Amino acid sequence: MPLPVPVPPEGVDPAWLPDEAFRPIGTRRTLVRGSGPLVDTVHGEVARACERFGGRVERDAAPGPFDLVLELTGPQELGDEGFTCRREDGRTTVGAYGGAGLLYGLLHVVRLGEAAFHGERQREYHEPALALRMLDHWDNVAVHPVMGQVERGYAGGSLFWADGRARGELERVRAYGRLLAACGINAVAVNNVNVHETEAHLLTDRIGEVAAIAGALRPYGVRTHLSVTFAAPVVLGGLERADPLDAGVREWWAETTARVYEAVPDFGGYVVKADSEGQPGPFAYGRSHADGANMLAAALDPHGGTVHWRAFVYNHHQDWRDRTTDRARAAYDHFVPLDGEFAPNAVLQVKHGPMDFQVREPVSPLIGAMPDTRLAVELQATQEYTGQQRHVCWLGPMWSEVLRFRLEEGACAGELARGGLVAVSNVGDDPFWTGHPLAQANLYTFGRLAWQPDADPHELLDEWLGLTFAPVPEGLCDLLSGSWRTYEKYTAPLGVGFMVQPGHHYGPSVDGYEYSPWGTYHFADRDGIGVDRSVAGGTGYAGQYAKPWAEMYESPQTCPDELLLFFHHVPYGHVLKSGKTVIQHIYDTHFEGVAEVEEAVETWASLAGQVEPGRHARVAERYAEQLRSAREWRDQINSYFFRKSGVPDESGRTIF
């Protein structure tokens, strides 16, 4: 019997896997050849499509008059996840060495649609550039009094947890695994990196709940990972210390990890946030991050697991009066001296920028500075600082810029991410998965870029639109493709970052973090704005880059305009490469950004008859909030800098 296909429960959006996407397969004759759990998944998908659309599927039959053949035939060099695809003599054939490759091959045919069954197609070879393509869910088992069910979550509650325990009904989790496979994601961490006491117990007496989730994701090739607290031997094991060089501590981790694998044989490994923002870590025992990571790596190594050790470590008790301390420098300063000291199965997980997922910041120099360490690049799909899924902000172009950015010796960030690509998830139990239906594009694009970091993001957007909407309404692509730059225009200018309400980070507050201990300053005064991070007179952060970037960022004359205020404090009258002054750029972009949102609102309204009513209504509701918020951003930012600088808008527009 074919494996049942986990379709979303009634009332839940099918996202980029509507039944119609399988029509080209479901109307044809298909042969599935091979054995194994993931081959069973492939057979189940084809069988359901044929049942719906009238086609026929056979399992392990002799070659015959089939339109589509899906078979385990190699080549082995493509690994378990790679596949080939060709069309000749009226037949489309997908071949793979492993079951995961066959599943990805089937989903490739789904993306091609009818085009997969017409003309001739030379044999194509497909394999992921990165072996690990992971989502980190910042989900709390118990609702946290400050951060709620999902920390930085904007799509309802958790998919995995409710009322302090695992959700009993896993059908939607299975449907989620199916969506992830369809964009190439193969790993999920199911709990928050800020591990509270309840979540800590998932490692030991509550591992059975993790095992149930892993069982729901496994049929689609998605491995389960767990965030753990470094202090687990103390919190859970009754030990007095969590010193990574203590023999008793190492033994506790080895025994505990062995029990995890007894419950979840394909367990992926641990995610750890240590010595950061109050989380415990090896510094308490005079040990290094490498000492801490390697202890966990040793416990995981016999089972084939990996520890992802986050590099988000900085002083969050800074004195705003001290301009020598620079949060942007912190990750590089902490970790570069440790290059070569991490175990082979320890991955250092590095945020793509040196700060905290701002709408614009430079690529972290750490990514190019540790050639002897496996690095994973971390992105943020949940839009903490980019509109919190109340604003349309498709992040594909930003992520592509990051992954294509060439660091030391000409290697780009996507190539240096040997430990994988990771994103903070933007999914919850909302009927549209991501709260804002158009925010699904970020999740899909992340998965596809993790598979192929040098892919054209706009082509991936076209894929998502073609799968999700049938037909794609005219103008919808334009709404999304320019939305990141629109958001940038009406929020923080020229790379300065933040300027958000403290705590929840939604909406404008120019000085919200200016005198805080978090190290997120803009230093605006009557004469100018920006942070001097030059070597000559500032914090020296620009010198963390190799040439030519260090030289480019060092001078205001050569620094790219979009990052000018990240690297330099300049007068309001400083002339940008566009020919505008900094102050006029601030005024103009904030008015332009609001005008672009107003136009987007009108465009979306015009699509009312072309988009499913529930989806259209939800997006219209979010656009109304985006327009309100964009106007608030415009008016607060422009008024603040007019009052600081005393320089009027040369166009004479209303500034309060």
Residues annotated as part of the active site:
277, 356, 384
Strand partners, 529: 570
Residue type, 487: Y
Placement of tokens 């118990």 in the chain: 142
- Are the beta carbons of 572 and 583 closer than 8 angstroms? yes
Strand partners, 571: 528
Q: Give CA 578 to chain center in angstroms.
A: 32
Angle, CA of 27, 30 and 34, to the nearest 5°? 150
- Are the beta carbons of 398 and 413 closer than 8 angstroms? no
Residue type, 415: E
Please give the structure tokens belonging to residue 455: 């892919």
Placement of tokens 């998932």 in the chain: 202
- How many helices (H) does the chain have, and how many strands (E)? 20, 20
Residues 6+ apart with CB under 8 A from 376: 132, 134, 308, 347, 348, 349, 350, 417, 419, 420, 421, 422
Q: How large is the C-alpha radius of gyration of the chain?
A: 25
Q: How far is CA 483 from CA 353, 379, 490, 495, 594, in A?
A: 20, 18, 11, 17, 12
Residues 6+ apart with CB under 8 A from 220: 38, 41, 103, 174, 177, 178, 180, 181
- Are the beta carbons of 446 and 180 closer than 8 angstroms? no
Nearest to 271 by CA among 295, 243, 242, 307: 307
Whether the bond between 302 and the residue before it is cis, its omega within 30 degrees of 0, is no
Nearest to 396 by CA among 411, 386, 388: 386
Strand partners, 527: none
- Are the beta carbons of 128 and 421 closer than 8 angstroms? no
Helix axes 171-183, 440-451, angle to 10 degrees: 50
- Judged by DSSP in three states, 8 sits in coil
Q: How far is CA 584 from CA 42, 421, 522, 556, 641, in A?
A: 57, 38, 18, 17, 10
- Return d(Cα 169, Cα 518) in angstroms, integer: 40
Residues 6+ apart with CB under 8 A from 420: 130, 131, 132, 133, 134, 187, 347, 376, 450
Angle, CA of 171, 177 and 178, to the nearest 5°? 90
